[in-house]
Every structure is written in structure tokens, then in C-alpha cells.
Amino acid sequence: MAGRTHRVSVLGGLGVHPAERLSGAGRRVLAYLAVRSPRALRSLLCMELWPNMDETRARANLRRALWQLPAGWVEVDGPDLVLDAEVDYANATEVAARAIGGELLPATDLKLLLLDLLPGWYDEWLREHQEQFHLRRVQALEETCRRATATGDLCTATSAGLSAVTAEPLRESAVTALVAAHLCEGNRADAARRYHAYAALLQTELRCQPGPELQALLSGVS
């Protein structure tokens, strides 16, 4: 396989580099291979991309999609299709695993955790991957916030914590990590604003109050 000069982005939406005009079916094939695996059985791809069609029509759709794709993106290897491109999703899942495992990541790596996987796409085959990646990226951002706070890298801590809270506004562990980072910076007003905004949202959505750990952080701060 030739050196990878192509890139497929699936975080925040589908994009390709170099820029190409892609058919709808071609976009779906690239997205599938970028998310599920760079190598996939053609029969499985047909079944999952066109679940409501019979096999003959699904295979015809796939042949048409491959014919419409510009050369160099997908290769046929026997019964398999192989994506020859670098994929941001693969890099992002690796970054998330490192962060959850305790590694304090540079800001350039954390940028991969700011966007969800193909938002606005509702294909059945994709749903589980979207949910899993969303959770993993929030966990990674939250863990980064805590570790950066502990090491005194408060700029990274507040940035990661805010990203986690933006992604999941009702996630109390993320709010707690962000409030703790603000307090370590000495920004009591920011900590109090974040706490009160969360408490109001929690009351509106769930009719309950923040837990004792978060309340304890704000003890004496109003």
C-alpha cells in the first residue's frame, strides 16, 4: 500500500484532505471505514450501510460508490475494502486512552478531544461508536483537568475542565474538577459562578442539589 497522503476527518463532521467532491454513497463508505475499521468485508459493509436492501441492490450501491470515489482512497483486497488514509478518530481514541491512563497530554493532543464523532449522522451502525467516543473524550478531559490541577498546570486544567463541562453540562464530576481548578487559581468568583450555574441547571433538569463533594469545595465561597 502506498504511503498515506490522504486524511479523513470524522470528528465534528466528515472531511477529507486533499479536498474531493464525493457522492453521498462515497461519503458513507469512507465514514464507515474510518470509524469501524480501515479494513472491512465488503459483504458486512453492504449489510450495515444498506440494511433495508436486498444483497443484490446493496452490492450494486457499493460498486457505484467505489466507482465514484477518487482513486487512491479505498483499495479492494479480495473480499475486503481497505482505507488508505490517516484518520483523526483513530488518533483521538489513542489520545483519550492515554489521558484516562494518567498521562498529562499537551494542548495539541487535547484538541482531538473537543469534537464528537460525526454529529448529525444517525446511521444505526454508528450510534454505539458515537456514544462510546463521547463518553471517553469527556472522561479524558475530566481526568486531564484533575491531573493538570494537581501538577499546577492550571491553564490546561481550566481549559480541559471547561471542555468537559461544555460536552456534558450535568456531569457533576466534571463540574467538580473545573471548580477545583478555578479555586487553585485563586479565582473564587469563577468557581462560585460555575457552581451556581450548575446548581440551577441541576434543579431545573433533575430537581436535586449538587452532591456533598462539590458543595464542600464551595464552603465559605459565595
Helix (H, G, I), strand (E, B) or coil at 81: strand
pLDDT at position 169: 97
Helix (H, G, I), strand (E, B) or coil at 16: strand
Alpha helices in the chain (DSSP H): 24-35, 42-49, 55-68, 88-100, 107-110, 124-151, 154-167, 172-185, 188-206, 212-217
| pTM of the full structure | 0.92
Locus of grid cell 470515489: 69
pLDDT at position 60: 95
Q: Is residue 51 exposed (0-12), middle (13-18) or buried (19+ Cβ within 10 Å)?
A: exposed
pLDDT at position 106: 87
- In a structure prediction context, what are the per-residue pLDDT tens digits for the chain, which is 222 residues long? 445 689 999 999 999 999 888 999 999 999 999 999 999 999 999 999 999 999 999 999 999 999 999 888 999 999 999 999 999 999 999 999 999 999 998 888 999 999 999 999 999 999 999 999 999 999 999 999 999 999 999 999 999 999 999 999 999 999 999 999 999 999 999 999 999 999 999 999 999 999 999 999 988 665
Locus of grid cell 441541576: 202
| Residue 27 near residue 69, CB atoms below 8 Å | no
pLDDT at position 131: 98
Q: Which domains does the chain have, with CATH numbers?
A: 7-84 (1.10.10), 88-217 (1.25.40.10)
Grid cell digits, residue 125 = 451502525
Grid cell digits, residue 20 = 474531493
Whole-angstrom Cα distance, residue 212 to residue 205?
A: 19
Residue 75: which H helix or E strand, with range? strand 74-77
**How many residues in the chain?**
222
Give whole-number Cα distances, 188 to 67, 157, 163, 178, 183, in Å. Answer: 60, 15, 19, 12, 6
pLDDT at position 105: 87
| Residue 165 near residue 132, CB atoms below 8 Å | no
Whole-angstrom Cα distance, residue 68 to residue 75?
A: 13
